[in-house]
Amino acid sequence: MRPRRPLALQVARLPAPLRVGTFLLGVALGWMPLALPIYLLVPDANLASILGTGWLFVAFLIWLQVWNRWVYRRSLPLARYGWRWDKASGRAFVGGFGVGAVAVLALFGLQALLGWRSLQVPTAPTLSLWRATVEGAIVAVAVGTAEELLFRGWLLDELERDYQPPLALALDAGLFAIAHFLKPWAEIVRTLPQFPGLILLGMLLVYAKRRSGGHLGLAIGLHAGLVWGYYLVAVGELAGAPRAAPWLVGIDNNPLASALGWLGLSSLVVWMRPQPGSPDAGT
């Protein structure tokens, strides 16, 4: 193996916050030359957002390869981050997807049983429901894959290089929540109850990776299942008008921003957390 160049060695020895910042700067510099024309020239704002976000993920993957070859001298970084294609990962993904989807649907069902909202379940599948089912699955898998590779793959790996597992978990979950709160101040205040839910979700997904021996299949499946379940209820128009306070049913019907959602996520966190003394117990 060739020795690392002095600059690469210096970058590798930087504290985690500076390494993370350096990496993100590289992604931004690679993303902007194509992203700016997209946002300036594409008249449809929604299409521009989709293209810009898609290119951002591609730029992230490209820079991930460059970063690992240059800084860490690794040629197969995705394997270290927990990304692999095999039967075990496939089973973990399917199991996680099922748990996530059932958890969301059960939460809305419980709200209906408690009289907190009505449900609008059609007697026969409608075209809009079929569309929400298929479209939601595509969106959910894309979001789950991208966010898990970013937060539980690359970011968690960088944090675990410098910090003990409990601190790395807390930082990863906190940064995950903060990243989802990059929005106008008025919206931050209005949707603030969602923040604890995002932290709990971040913890759950870190534990899912650790419980799987460092592989991402279960975490991606869980994340995708939660997104799909919510997409199906929201876009498929299965949830009727709420009859209880927003803190009970969720601001904008978002389970992450509700007391019942926090309770459900807390239960999943306790269930998913590796047992003390197990090989994967990195609390």
Each residue's pLDDT tens digit in the chain (283 positions)? 455 568 888 888 999 999 999 999 999 999 999 999 999 999 999 999 999 999 999 999 999 999 999 898 887 778 889 988 888 899 999 999 999 999 999 999 999 999 998 888 776 667 778 888 999 999 999 999 999 999 999 999 999 999 999 999 999 999 999 999 999 999 999 999 999 999 999 999 999 999 999 999 999 999 999 999 999 988 887 888 888 888 888 888 898 999 999 999 999 999 999 876 655 555 5
Cα 163 to chain centroid, rounded: 21
Report the predicted TM-score, pTM, of the whole model to 2 decimal places. Answer: 0.91
DSSP 3-state assignment of 134? helix
Q: What is the pLDDT of residue 142?
A: 95
- Residue 143 has, within 13 A of its CA and on its CB side, a CA count of 18
Q: Which residue in the block uniquely carries the two structure tokens 């021996």? A: 213
Phi, psi of 267 (to 5 degrees): -65, -40
Name the residue with tokens 């399917």: 94
User: Which tokens belong to 183?
Assistant: 């929005």
Give bridge partners of residue 239 from the DSSP assignment.
Answer: 119
Please, what sign has the CA dihedral across residues 160, 163, 169, 171? negative
Task: Give the C-alpha separation, 55 to 198, whole Å.
Answer: 25
- Please tell me the distance from the alpha carbon of residue 211 to that of residue 165, in angstroms, as a whole number: 13
Which backbone phi and psi does 244 adopt, to 5 degrees?
Answer: -130, 175
Amino acid identity for residue 42 in this structure:
V
d(CA 261, CA 194) in angstroms, rounded, equals 10
Beta partners for 242? 117
The predicted pLDDT at position 76 comes to: 76
The amino acid present at 242, given as its one-letter code, is P
DSSP 3-state of 118: strand
**Res 249: pLDDT:** 87
Specify the DSSP class assigned to residue 144: H
pLDDT, position 230: 93
pLDDT reported for residue 14: 93
